[in-house]
Amino acid sequence: MPVSSDEVVIKATGLTKVFKDFWGRPKARAVDNVDFEVRRGEVFGLLGPNGSGKSTTIKMILGLLYPTKGHLTVFGASPRDVKTKARIGYLPEESYLYRYLNPGETLDFFGNLFALDSGDRQKRTEQLIEMVGLNQARTRTVGEFSKGMQRRIGLAQALINDPDLVILDEPTAGLDPIGCREVKDLILALAKRGKTVILSSHLLSDVEDVCDRAVIYYGGKIQAQGTLQELLSERDQVRITAPALSRETMDKVLEIIRADTGAEVRVDHPTQNLESYFLGVVERARAQAETSGATSGNQVAAFIRGGAEAGASQSDRVLERLTKAPPTAAPVVEAKAPESAVNNARLDALTKSEPSSEPAPPAAPAPKAADLSKANEKLSGLLGGKKP
């Protein structure tokens, strides 16, 4: 488990968000008087049923929504502070990517919005594509990516500015078990480097595997919060794990326990979880089969530092891009983003909401069977990079 420090990264006190209707009448109390703290190096889980206030909380942390009441600081400052935003990486629930760009162009585009120079952009793009295991798909456009592949490129995008705080909304949605494990390992590796990670997920096993602490929302209120250990341990029971015992020894042990407690005792064999069983099966299969030279994913990109400040000033634009659907008509983005500083004309073109007058290009071709099988080979290959 990652080690968190005492440094408070996010502090929410009495945080409340009420959505109002056109006439200013309260419509939904999305977040209702919540208090929580997230510390540096911690993996913090936001749990709760649909509509319970998780995304609204995330949007307030990102400075995209104003709290109606209460107080919220991120790195000791307002979430709206540009310097604060530059230290955050965000993977939205829905990836809004430019379907006609390939992975390299996508990352170059976001690097450009953070005003990274061209050398840095290139280096980070290479490392991130490698890290999320998309090396073999680098010539394809993200519009033809499967859902899991889109999550992978989204994750790479969230790390391009080497953020200190990474906010991931449903990061493993649509990923196969290998991809899920890789994302979870990556989250743990980021936390080890002192990054703070906020994770919203409906997959409870993911939260259980990686989070240090979690809050559970219901109806905009926090119903429970604490370390996973605090939330899950059943204090009135103990479990003893031992090597297989002889019948005689087992009878003796059971006799002692029954005499002592007078209660029923249950004996069974521990089972491994389905995830570790699945990964074991695939790993054995991979060891026996030829691979097609797929590279290993899941090594943390070398440029990602241990909690240093990322110096970007264009983060407002990045958040804007991430939370707005890109135009679906003509491809207004050229294949390569400009090498120099941010090109305002191009950004303006990208943020235009009216449909372009250019004729719409033909729809992106569906992935071919050969491509899919290549992707599958790649996924098997990714296991090569896993820890023993």
Ligand X SMILES: Nc1ncnc2c1ncn2[C@@H]1O[C@H](COP(=O)(O)OP(=O)(O)OP(=O)(O)O)[C@@H](O)[C@H]1O
Closer residue to Mg ion (CB): 55 or 225: 55
Q: How many residues bind ligand X (CB under 6 A)?
A: 12
- 52 forms part of the interface with ligand X (CB under 6 A): yes
What residues are paired with 214 via a beta bridge?
45, 226
Q: Distance of CA 182 to CAs 65, 291, 301, 305, 367, Å?
A: 32, 19, 13, 19, 24
- Quote the CA–CA distance of 35 and 217 in Å, as a whole number: 12
Instruction: Looking at residues 54 to 93 of the shown chain, list those that interact with ligand X (rule: CB under 6 A).
Output: 54-56
- 314 forms part of the interface with Mg ion (CB under 5 A): no
For residues 13-52, one letter each, b for 16 or more C-beta atoms within 10 angstroms of the residue's C-beta and e for the rest, the string is eebbbbeeeeeeeeeebbbbebebebbbbbbbbbbbeeeb
Residue 154 near which of Mg ion, ligand X, none (CB within 5-8 Å, type-dependent): none
Out of 55, 102, 157, 172, the only residue in the binding site for Mg ion (CB under 5 A) is 55
Q: Distance of CA 112 to CAs 312, 327, 335, 341, 351, Å?
A: 10, 19, 14, 7, 15
Q: How far is the CB of 72 from ligand X (least distance, A)?
A: 15
Stretch that binds ligand X, among 44-52, 109-117, 226-234, 321-329 (CB under 6 A): 44-52
Query: Closest residue to Mg ion, Cβ-based?
Result: 55
The kind and range of the H/E element at 281 are helix 274-288
The kind and range of the H/E element at 11 are strand 8-20
Largest alpha-carbon pair distance within the chain? 84
Residue 127 near which of ligand X, Mg ion, none (CB within 5-8 Å, type-dependent): none
- 27 forms part of the interface with ligand X (CB under 6 A): yes
- Quote the CA–CA distance of 257 and 242 in Å, as a whole number: 15
Site track for Mg ion across 9-48, x = CB under 5 A: ----------------------------------------
- 28 forms part of the interface with ligand X (CB under 6 A): yes
Residue 53 near which of ligand X, Mg ion, none (CB within 5-8 Å, type-dependent): ligand X
Q: Is 174 left (phi over 0), alpha (psi -120 to 50) or beta?
A: left
CB 378 within 8 A of CB 294: yes
Q: How far is the CB of 50 from ligand X (least distance, A)?
A: 3
Out of 19, 66, 96, 277, the only residue in the binding site for ligand X (CB under 6 A) is 19
Q: How many residues bind Mg ion (CB under 5 A)?
A: 2
Out of 1, 7, 37, 51, the only residue in the binding site for ligand X (CB under 6 A) is 51
Q: Which ranges in 193-271 belong to alpha helices (H)?
A: 204-210, 228-232, 247-261
Stretch that binds ligand X, among 27-35, 208-216, 229-237, 263-271 (CB under 6 A): 27-35
Q: Residue numbers of the site for Mg ion (CB under 5 A)? A: 54-55
Q: Residue numbers of the site for ligand X (CB under 6 A)? A: 19, 27-28, 30, 48, 50-56
